């Protein structure tokens, strides 16, 4: 299947299966998208505020004493991150598997793959989570090594800044472009391998190792197609996130400004506008995320030929060929049964 055909087929299937929209949106939010969605309505602390908050504790640590507050906060953050990684990752994996099954069973893709009873959803979700984590190991290594470089750049910008008019986050990223490039490359590879492996597990009940080997082989065999399948819908998602976030941020500021007014009608209209923009943005994000996920499912189903099922696309399209295996009598149509034939 060509790149353009896969993108178009996945888009048509996504529009025809709205049940995948909330599933894809929930998986996106669980895997960190909630931070991007809430960013327009969250007031980020300034550099001075961060310094005033953690400065005393850092000074104490620098002199060799670790306050109990630092230990409690650090442990709480670590436990929360671990719970989010495991519980949220498992739930996102279960949603990803369900979305892949919905797309694969659509009559315009291949029809539901026949076979034994599907494996338990919990086991499939656990395998997908493990495959995703293994695929993200290189990204974790890059983040760990790159954080060291970012710490030095951040320290330099805080102590001897060259441009105080630019936000410190931008200055740090510009000061360490190699880290940014390495993270983007590692993230891209992790997403591609993880997505292909997840479909392999969800649709064929493959083991984690076999699914990862298959995903790496697909990436090596089809590098340009794999990059296109990942980056084209990702850029579309970015084009949705930026304007919707800006609109939600403007509407949120307007809500904050009218809450102190004595005009209830104006307040109601502003709040309704903010909620409407927020819901519209989430709807568009859900559709695009469902499209991103459907691309990998459509390509995987086309690659494997419905995993041993019928090649007929719609119920009742029985052909005089063994592709319609469920009703094949074992002999050419029109010939009478001979003695000994089933």
Q: How far apart are CA 36 and CA 29, in angstroms?
A: 9
Section 26-55 average pLDDT: 78
Query: Any idea what DSSP says for residue 165?
Result: T
What does the pLDDT read at residue 333? 35
Q: Backbone phi, then psi, for 113, in 5-degree steps?
A: -70, 125
More confident residue, 58 or 175: 175
What is the structure's pLDDT at 320?
33
User: Sorting pLDDT into bands at 50, 70 and 90, what band is 63?
Assistant: low
pLDDT of residue 307: 42
Show the tokens assigned to 83: 């719970």
**Which structure tokens are listed for 147?**
């954080």
The DSSP symbol for 336 reads: P
263 φ, ψ (degrees, to nearest 5): -95, 100
Q: Which residues contact 207 (CB under 8 A, 6 or more apart)?
A: 127, 201
* 115 Rama sector, left if φ>0, alpha if ψ -120 to 50, beta otherwise: left
How far apart (Å, rounded) are the C-alpha atoms in residues 72 and 78?
10
Are residues 229 and 4 in contact, defined by beta-carbon separation less than 8 angstroms? no
The pLDDT value recorded for residue 62 is 58
Question: Does residue 185 contact residue 156 with C-beta atoms inside 8 Å?
Answer: no
Neighbours of 332 (CB within 10 A): 7
**CA-closest candidate to residue 233, choices 185, 184, 296, 183:** 296
pLDDT at residue 342 tops 80: no
Q: Which of 123, 63, 114, 50 is nearest to 90 (CA)?
A: 123
pLDDT, one tens digit per residue, over 220-239 is 999 999 999 999 999 999 99
Q: CA–CA separation, 337 vs 17, rounded Å? A: 44
At residue 317, does pLDDT exceed 60?
no
* 6-16 tens-digit pLDDT: 899 999 999 99
Least confident of 78-92, 154-168, 180-194: 154-168
Rounded to the nearest integer, the mean pLDDT of the chain is: 81
Torsion of CA 96, 101, 102, 108, to 10 degrees: 130
> For residue range 185-220, what is the model confidence (pLDDT) as tens digits?
999 999 999 999 999 999 988 999 999 999 999 999
Evaluate whether 108 touches 13 at the Cβ level (below 8 Å): yes
Which residues, other chains included, contact 210 with Cβ-Cβ below 8 Å and sequence gap of 6+? 200
Strands (E), 164-286: none
Q: How much is the pTM?
A: 0.79
């Amino acid at each position: 299947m060509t790149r353009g055909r896969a993108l178009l087929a996945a888009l048509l299937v996504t529009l025809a299966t709205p049940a995948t929209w909330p599933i894809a949106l929930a998986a996106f939010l669980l895997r960190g998208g909630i931070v991007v969605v809430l960013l327009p309505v969250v007031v980020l602390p300034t550099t001075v505020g961060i310094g005033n908050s953690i400065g005393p504790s850092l000074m104490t640590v620098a002199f060799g004493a670790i306050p109990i507050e630092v230990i409690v906060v650090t442990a709480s953050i670590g436990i929360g991150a671990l719970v989010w990684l495991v519980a949220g990752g498992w739930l996102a994996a279960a949603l990803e598997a369900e979305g892949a099954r919905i797309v694969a069973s659509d009559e315009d893709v291949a029809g539901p793959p026949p076979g034994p009873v599907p494996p338990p959803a919990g086991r499939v979700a656990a395998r997908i989570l493990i495959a995703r984590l293994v695929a993200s190991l290189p990204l974790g290594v890059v983040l760990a090594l790159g954080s060291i470089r970012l710490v030095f750049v951040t320290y330099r910008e805080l102590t001897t800044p060259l441009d105080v008019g630019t936000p410190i986050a931008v200055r740090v990223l510009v000061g360490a472009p190699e880290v940014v490039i390495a993270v983007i490359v590692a993230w891209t590879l992790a997403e591609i391998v993880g997505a292909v492996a997840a479909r392999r597990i969800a649709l064929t009940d493959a083991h984690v190792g076999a699914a990862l080997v298959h995903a790496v082989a697909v990436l090596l065999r089809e590098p340009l197609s794999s990059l296109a399948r990942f980056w084209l819908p990702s850029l579309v998602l970015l084009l949705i996130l930026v304007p919707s976030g800006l609109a939600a941020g403007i509407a949120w500021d307007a809500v904050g400004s009218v809450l102190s007014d004595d005009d209830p009608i104006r307040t109601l209209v502003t709040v309704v506008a903010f909620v409407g923009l927020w819901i519209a943005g989430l709807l568009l994000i859900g559709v695009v995320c469902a499209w991103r996920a459907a691309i990998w499912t459509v390509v995987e189903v086309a690659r494997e030929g419905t995993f041993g099922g019928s090649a007929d696309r719609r119920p009742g399209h029985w052909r005089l060929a063994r592709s319609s295996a469920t009703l094949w009598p074992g002999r050419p149509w029109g010939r009478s049964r001979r003695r000994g034939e089933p």
